[in-house]
Amino acid sequence: MKKAAKILSALAMAALLASGARAEERFVPKEPVMPLSQIRPGMLGYAKTVLQGTKITPFKVKIVGVVPSKSKPRNLIMVEVLDKYIRENGGIAAGMSGSPVYVDGRLIGAIGYSWSFADSSMGLVTPVEEMLKAMEWRQKLPWFDVPPLPPDEADKKDAESDAASDDRAPGCGAASADKIISADKAASGDKAAPGGKTASGDVALSGDKTISGDALSEDKEILSGDVKIDFDEEASGSGAPREKMTLASDGVSARYAARLGKKLGVSIIPLGSESAGSSPVDLRWRPEPGAAVGAAIAWGDVVVGGVGTLTAVSKDGRFIAFAHPMFNRGGVSYAMTQASILRTVPSIESSFKLGYLGKIAGVVTQDRPEAIGGRLGQLAAASSYTVNFHDVDERKKETKRFQTVADPFIGPEIGSAGILGLVDDLWARKGAGTALVAYTVSGGNMKPSWTRRNIFYSPKDAVKAMQKEIESLGKVISRNPFREINPYGVTVDVEMTKTPRVVYIDKIKIEDEKEEYSPGDKVKAVVTFRPWRKAPVKKTFELRIPENAVSFCEVTARGGGIEEPEEEPLITGIRAITTFKEFVTELSAKETNNQIIVEIGGPEKDSPEKKKPYKSTDKDKEKLSESSAVKEEDSENKKPEAGRDKKENKKKGKDSFTPADMMEERFVSEINAERIKNREMVVADTNYYVEGVLRTFIKVKGGSASDMLQSKLAQLMGGGEEEEEEYAPPEDEEDEGGEDGGDGDEGDGEGESLSFSGLGRGAKRK
């Protein structure tokens, strides 16, 4: 009888596995299995799991029945725990997910679900037939080699170096250590009040650092897996259970662990960790079914992952575990780790195992509704992150390194949370301060590396002040639509101080001002800066009046990111970013908070170059519309002579007008490069957070101002030769969603467009 049963079991398994996968890809457990069709209520069996340490312990269970379901996983098996010790110490607990269940010595499936606020001795088992489906999918692992460029990008390989170095528009965001901001990087004629200092501060960023090799500083991390389910209908209904995976984190602050959890749609609990001096990798580990295992999406000095149980192993070294999904992301590349259980913690809501992630032993390749699965003895490709932290006040420096899954979509979310959480944890305070940040991206298809330097200040929360930019940089670069960057590495140098390193723009004045200027004349603007609680500093900037200027010009001094011009072609749909070179150039063109920008502009004569002195108002558009209507009426009165057709005006003249004539076709980097070349704009970097905006006006000879320009001139100059507008610095208001700032995913839909809106301060004037 036993021999016949084994033959029937083998035939059943052969039928189950003949579902499309090639023979060498079929997952065949080492242990015999019992198909669902042979399961009957009242059958007795046992399950295997780890209750403490790494020792596998069996415990008795009884089959209650089969719960049919139309969704995946189908046909769950309800079981009851009979073991007295298990029942008295939490029952079926989170972390038991994947614990194999046997009847008559044959594998029927693994514990996958239990209920919150219910009898913890009852649970649901995912049948082995369902779990094996997770391994029928084709697996495609991210690897360590550099991916090929798209055909159009490969033909422009030389353009990449230009885009990341000298070819970018000067003064449009710091991209390298030796980048020249503009011809006037060092403003001429510096004048300082007695005892004053120049605007370049006494705190400098640390030197650039390359991406360090992968390093795992922790051998074992304390973690706790947790799965809770709810039914849409009654327990006996046909609705499939919905699991809520709870992960654990280490190395990051509690608020950024919570923020990451919201972004990933799971609960994340910050816990402690334990370090060991041995190697963090053991690719020779060969666990038995019932062993405690972990699945990590971040490892090293930042750990994010969950603990479960190994269900089965095949002869070729593959495994299945958990009996439910982790994120249900399909083909993946997580790190599979050893785990050790401290103990099971009973809870009225849902008991859970408290455990530690140990050495990396393999890779998780499938994250499916029925189970997770993968291969032992193989490493997962990863993205590398390095944080070099310097507390200026305490004179402490520390370097942290961690890796995340090589996934361009969830990888940046984990990486950004890791960076911010590490800084938050290392600074060990929440309050006012200044942060100097250098964010460097390097890797395959990203040569040379790209760096953006910026300074952030907040009177309430200095770490949160840098949050939006760190998160935006991670997403916009990793998800760029042009080329894959792999391996992907990020190095962030952060220097923090409690001191407000802020410089205020106090005054702007024209040196030796004349009654009237001619186009092309040079103008010297003297700007007075006042560092926080220090003596004021004067700096002189030389500008040139545009050649086609008429009536007046506006001379403005402002901090980078204040009144920053938008990428108008992208907004109006006139032009799109079509290459990686353009992408990097415009990313570099984003202004930074530590920049001083002095520029001149105003109304100009008609020119093929689309330079607009200011944004047109509704009144301006109304006048243009009226003017066009009059011209159309006049043209209708002038009828062509008999025998002659009305000729089309092929040559654009004054009477030729389309809406495109009012729209800017050039990107910000192109406009800035031309303005700097013509000395209409000067950009200088400082080691301060530059606050404020001031402007003054000068009269220009030549040209006759139209009614529109006269009206604008009167409006702008009505308050005198110098006008100071009240500037409202960005408030540190809490985002929706509480202290952690919400999930920040308002713009992360499927139709996400290329945008740099998360960079810079985004400040507005009142």
Question: Is the peptide bond prior to 100 cis by the omega test (within 30 degrees of 0)?
Answer: no
Q: What is the pLDDT of residue 92?
A: 86
Nearest-angstrom CA–CA distance, 156 and 581: 9
Three-state DSSP class for residue 749: coil
Q: What does 578-590 look like in DSSP terms, one character per residue? A: -SHHHHHHHHHTS
Pairwise CA distance, residues 316 & 65, whole Å? 33
Strand 267-270 to 242-250 pairing: parallel
Give every residue of the chain whose pLDDT is below 50, as ranges. Answer: 1, 4-8, 10-24, 158-242, 277, 608-621, 623-653, 705, 707-708, 718-727, 732-734, 736-753, 762-766
The token pair that represents 751 in the structure block: 């139709």
Distance from the first to the final alpha carbon of the chain: 87
Q: Is 577 exposed, middle or buried (0-12, 13-18, 19+ CB in 10 A)?
A: buried
Question: Residue written as tokens 């089959």?
Answer: 63
Largest CA distance in the chain: 112
Q: What is the pLDDT of residue 708?
A: 47
Taken in order 661, 662, 663, 667, is the CA torsion positive or negative?
positive
Domain ranges of the chain: 154-214+383-497, 503-615+663-765
Q: Residue 13: what pLDDT?
A: 45
Contact of 341 with 292, CB cutoff 8 Å: yes
State the pLDDT at residue 98: 92
CB 603 within 8 A of CB 551: yes
CB 16 within 8 A of CB 75: no
Distance of CA 630 to the CA centre of its chain: 52
Strand 502-510 and strand 689-691: the pairing is: parallel
List, as one string, the DSSP characters of 9-69. Answer: HHHHHHHHH-SS--GGG---BSS-B--GGG--TT-EEEEEEEEEBTEEEEEEEEEEEEE--
pTM, full prediction: 0.76
